């Protein structure tokens, strides 16, 4: 067997027939070729869910914005994936801050928020419960803090391990450096 070496420029225009690739496993319509040269199964596609364009009027006092619950009997772990956040009022140097707390103390959930499906996986129903403007007596433990300049949007991908076990709750609060701001958040998560 002979070996041919290619330069970077040559590789840009090179195509290699699948049959010529040395790999382990079997190619099929339900496998893909991993970077290590192994044909692997696609596995289970996760069920992805979302909250879309939840809005709040924001001022200089930190306000409870979204209460996100994983019920005790869910049997699922919620893995936070991404949140898109924005502020609509344009003023140079102004900001809106989103804070994430675990297990707050609440006396009222607030208004129920409709949960959507992102159309991956089997299309099952979300176990999560989400509420807008809950009544909170203690925020809980701060686990993330994101600021966005007014008039801008920001897409934040959560670090690995940002999850919610059964019977746990996350509170998202908002605060600004001045009154008259509108904050918007959209959240995507997976349930396993």
> Cα–Cα distance between 128 and 69 in angstroms, integer?
6
Local confidence band at 31 (pLDDT 50, 70, 90 cut-offs)? confident
The pLDDT value given to residue 110: 95
Nearest Cα neighbor of 79 from 49, 45, 51 is 49
* Higher pLDDT, residue 11 or 26: 26
Asked whether residue 104 falls in the same domain as residue 185, the answer is yes
113 and 86 in one domain?
yes
Task: Report whether 170 contacts 101 (CB < 8 A).
Answer: yes
**Residue 157 belongs to some domain of the structure:** yes
Total of domains in the chain: 2
Are residues 52 and 36 part of one domain? no
- Considering the domain architecture, whether residues 17 and 82 belong to the same structural domain is answered as no
pLDDT surpasses 60 at 103: yes
**Helical (H) or strand (E) element with 9:** helix 8-12
pLDDT-based confidence at residue 159 (cuts at 50, 70, 90):
confident
Domain-located, residue 3: no
- Does 153 reside within a domain? yes
* 181 domain-assigned: yes
For residue 28, give its domain range: 8-41
* Same domain membership, residue 132 and residue 72: yes
- Confirm whether 152 is domain-assigned: yes
Q: Specify whether 154 is located in the same domain as 69.
A: yes
pLDDT of 1 higher than 80 = no
Asked if the structure places residue 2 within a domain, the reply is no
């Amino acid at each position: 067997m002979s070996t041919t070496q290619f330069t970077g420029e040559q590789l840009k225009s090179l195509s290699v027939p699948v049959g010529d690739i040395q790999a382990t496993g079997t190619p099929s319509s339900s496998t893909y070729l991993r970077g290590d040269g192994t044909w692997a199964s696609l596995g289970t596609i996760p069920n992805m869910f979302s909250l879309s364009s939840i809005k709040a009027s924001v001022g200089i006092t930190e306000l409870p914005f979204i209460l996100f619950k994983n019920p005790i009997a869910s049997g699922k772990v919620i893995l936070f994936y991404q949140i898109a956040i924005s502020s609509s009022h344009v003023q140079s140097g102004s900001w809106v801050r989103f804070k994430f707390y675990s297990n707050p103390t609440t006396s009222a959930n607030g208004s129920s928020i409709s949960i959507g499906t992102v159309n991956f996986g089997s299309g099952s129903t979300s176990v999560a419960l989400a509420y807008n403007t809950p009544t909170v007596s203690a925020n809980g433990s701060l686990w993330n803090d994101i600021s966005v300049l007014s008039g801008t949007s920001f897409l934040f991908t959560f670090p690995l391990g940002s999850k919610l076990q059964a019977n746990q709750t996350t509170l998202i609060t908002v605060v600004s450096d001045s009154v008259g701001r509108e904050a918007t958040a959209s959240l995507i998560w997976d349930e396993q």
